[in-house]
Amino acid sequence: MNFKEIKKYWDDRASTDSTAQSTTQDVYLREIECNVLSERINKYKPRSVADMGCGDGRTTIKLSQKYLSSLFSGYDYSSHMISNANDLISTMSIHNLKFEQQDVCEKLTQYFDLIYTTRCLINLPSWDLQRDAIKNIHKALNKNGLYLMIENFIDGHENFNQVRKDFGLPEIGMRDHNNFFNRKELLDFISGYFSVVEEVNISSTYYLVSRVIYSKICSEKNLNIDYFNDHHRYAAGLPFSGEFGPVRLICLKKL
Ligand SMILES: C[S@@+](CC[C@H](N)C(=O)[O-])C[C@H]1O[C@@H](n2cnc3c(N)ncnc32)[C@H](O)[C@@H]1O
């Protein structure tokens, strides 16, 4: 899919689904991401935080409610996502959060202590656009600012598919609107802009339980995958270990 088609995909999803699953079916994966971000926000205490590609803002809302002394901005290029996010906060009294329409490939007009993305840049159809977005994020950070990049990587994706194969399960392919990162290519590129503070695969144990063990049980018992199943719920609480899932956190400090 090209850039326009992907944007339409997200607009359509937002206008037809305003539930917790409008940006991902896998709500427990988003819970893991939110916890990972929360620990870092608690540690670094940024005054200003931007969520690029915030979708309907569920993660942004949770974090802004927890860290009242930080100012949060949620950005998404989909006007429908932003409208759903604004609907969600319309009945809450939150004073440290705003949502605005913004394309991560276009220059940001504000500066932040911390910027994060959760599975946003994987929706950019080329490495050129992904690099533009990372350069924009770098420019929009204050001195010593942090970029918490939570995105999908081919490396971990291939690893868990190998385990699925060993269990007699079919490969899970990359969705048409996704373009996963190559870790080495990314690290080579960002070394001119950021230093790596921390790197952890946050989806490995979760994927082994949800995409291998639970999938195998479903396949043997002829059951449909249910993303709210207890395997997902409990797996989300396991410690991080291994390289068997696509989603990793790379915590980057602006050079
Ligand atoms: C997989 S969803 C994740 C949403 C949210 N981060 C979450 O964790 O629930 C990807 C989001 O990125 C947004 N997105 C994709 N490309 C973007 C771009 N170029 N600029 C801003 N937002 C973008 C989509 O509209 C969508 O809401």
pLDDT of residue 177 exceeding 90, the answer is yes
Which distant-in-sequence residues (6+ apart) come within 8 Å of 221 by Cβ?
A: none
Residue 248 within any structural domain of the chain: yes
Residue 247 within any structural domain of the chain: yes
The reported pLDDT for the residue numbered 175 is 94
DSSP per-residue letters across 47-79: SEEEEET-TT-HHHHHHHHH-TTSEEEEEES-H
The reported pLDDT for the residue numbered 21 is 85
Residue 56 within any structural domain of the chain: yes
Instruction: Tell me the best of 37, 49, 52, 77 to mutate to test the pocket of ligand 1, counting ligand atoms within 8 Å of each CB and taking the most.
Output: 77
- CA distance linking residue 243 with residue 229, whole number of Å: 23
Residue nearest to atom 10 of ligand 1 (CA): 120
Ligand 1 in reach of 152 Cβ (< 6 A) = no
First to last CA, the chain: 34
Residue nearest to atom 14 of ligand 1 (CA): 53
Residue 212 within any structural domain of the chain: no
For residue 150, what are the domain limits? 3-155+176-204+241-254
Output the CA 241–ligand 1 centroid distance in Å: 27
**Strand 247-254's sheet: what is its strand order?**
97-101, 71-76, 48-52, 112-118, 141-152, 247-254, 194-201
Q: Which helix (H) or strand (E) holds 128?
A: helix 127-139
Please give the share of the chain, as a percent, with pLDDT higher than 70: 100
We report the CATH number of the domain holding residue 181 as 3.40.50.150
pLDDT of residue 22 exceeding 90, the answer is no
The reported pLDDT for the residue numbered 88 is 94
Residue 118 pairs in a beta bridge with 150
Higher pLDDT among residues 117 and 24, named by residue:
117
Q: Which atom of ligand 1 is nearest to the CA of 30?
A: 8
Residue 118 within any structural domain of the chain: yes
Residue 73 within any structural domain of the chain: yes
Find the mean pLDDT for residues 97-108.
97
Ligand 1 in reach of 130 Cβ (< 6 A) = no
Find the mean pLDDT for residues 143-147.
97
Q: How many domains does the chain have?
A: 1
Residue 199 pairs in a beta bridge with 250
Q: Which atom of ligand 1 is nearest to the CA of 58?
A: 9
The reported pLDDT for the residue numbered 58 is 96
Residue 235 within any structural domain of the chain: no
The reported pLDDT for the residue numbered 23 is 82
Residue 220 within any structural domain of the chain: no
Output the CA 219–ligand 1 centroid distance in Å: 31
Ligand 1 in reach of 80 Cβ (< 6 A) = no
Find the mean pLDDT for residues 146-153.
98
Residue 141 tokens, joined: 């950070």
Rg (CA), the chain: 18
What pLDDT band is residue 20 in, cutting at 50, 70 and 90? Answer: confident
Q: Which helix (H) or strand (E) holds 82?
A: helix 79-89
Q: Which residue has the tokens 């994966």?
A: 29
